[in-house]
Structure 1
Amino acid sequence: MGEFWPVPDVLSYLAGSWRVRRTVRDLASGAEGHFTGTTVFGPPEGAEHAGLLHHESGTFTWQGVARPAERTLRFLPGAIPAAALVQFSDGRPFHDLDLTTGRHTADHPCSADLYRGEFSVFASDRWRTVWRVGGPAKDLVLTTDYARGD
Structure 2
Amino acid sequence: MVDPHDRSDRFELIAGCDGETLARFANEVLEEDPQLSVQQDPHPQLLVQQVTEPVERRPFNLGEVVVTPAAVELDGHRGFAMVPGKAERAALSGAIVDAAVAGGHRLSESMTAALERAAADREAERAQAWAESKHTTVDFRTMEDET
Give TM-score scaled by structure 1 length.
0.29
The structure having more radius of gyration, on CA atoms, is 2
Higher percent of residues as strand: 1
Higher percent of residues as helix: 2
